[in-house]
Amino acid sequence: MNRRAVSAIARKDLKVVLQNKGVVLPILIAPLVLFGALPWMAALAPNLANVGGMNVNELRELLAHMPEGLRTEMALYTPDQQPIVFFLVYMLAPLFLILPVMTSSVMAADSFAGERERRTLETLLYTPTTDRELFVGKLLAPWLAAMVVSAVGFVLYVVMANAAAGRVMGSLFFPTLMWVVLVVWVAPAAAGFGLATMVLVSVRAQGFQDAYQVGSIVVLPLLLLLFGQISGVMYFSIGAVLLLGLGLWVTDVVLIWAGSRVFRRGRLIARS
């Protein structure tokens, strides 16, 4: 593997992608809204009865339908703390995964479909790089960017969650061990999932916008996780998060293998 070439492709893609406002804006806005503003809304919820049509009693009713494991964990907190922990620790956990998935998929759309649309792919194919080096270089940039955005989003969330809920919680309560597992084990796999899905979509897409629109289906599994929690079917326990990560890693391996099969010079040039 020619590391210099792989690194050159990744650096080039990062430079090029970061100048596309259609890519950068959602990557900047999502963490600010999700993890800058939401913690304050959740923390203030107990004081904002009837806001959004849901009062504190209804929140407690919702908790009563949660799986036993979650109720046991929630029992460790006071009634005022419970809604905060429920939202900030559990409900926002699947939403956190939007950061790596969205970042990697949007950047991959620009890197794969966008490159072909700009007609700059062909000259890359005439370089001495192997198909594998090109593929790895192009995977690396979106994945690394997703990791940086996830890390920044996580740090922002730690600060905001503790600042917003510190008065009610009485001490630094975040991050929990589950969240550490989520960030270290699941987020990198989620980034790989968004990336690999977008590689497969991009091979057939007409251009960046086309790939971006079709590829946005990658957030659907995350919404299923969110609704799964709200409906009480499952919750983000440490065991569930470890299992989720494992499932995503296995899916990544399969999807990236499939992506590497279609990312061949002959196929790419025939479509360029």
**CB-based contact 136:7 (threshold 8 Å):** no
Taking the least distance from each CB to another protein, the nearer of 78 and 130 is: 130
Residues in contact with another protein by the rule CB under 8 A:
2, 4-5, 7-9, 11-12, 15-16, 19-20, 118-120, 122-130, 265-266, 269-270
| Least separation in angstroms between CB 109 and another protein | 15
Q: Where are the alpha helices (DSSP H) in the chain?
A: 3-17, 21-32, 38-44, 56-64, 68-74, 81-85, 92-96, 98-108, 115-117, 121-125, 131-169, 177-181, 187-204, 208-215, 220-230, 238-262, 265-271
Taking the least distance from each CB to another protein, the nearer of 137 and 194 is: 137
Taking the least distance from each CB to another protein, the nearer of 14 and 152 is: 14
Taking the least distance from each CB to another protein, the nearer of 167 and 271 is: 271
**CB-based contact 217:193 (threshold 8 Å):** no
| Least separation in angstroms between CB 118 and another protein | 7
Query: In the numeric block, which tokens belong to residue 87?
Result: 């939202």
> Which residues in 17-43 are b (16+ Cβ under 10 Å) and which e?
beeeeebeeebeebbeebbeebbeebb
| Least separation in angstroms between CB 27 and another protein | 16
Taking the least distance from each CB to another protein, the nearer of 8 and 230 is: 8
| Least separation in angstroms between CB 9 and another protein | 7
How far does Cα 131 stand from its chain's mean position?
Answer: 27
| Least separation in angstroms between CB 29 and another protein | 21
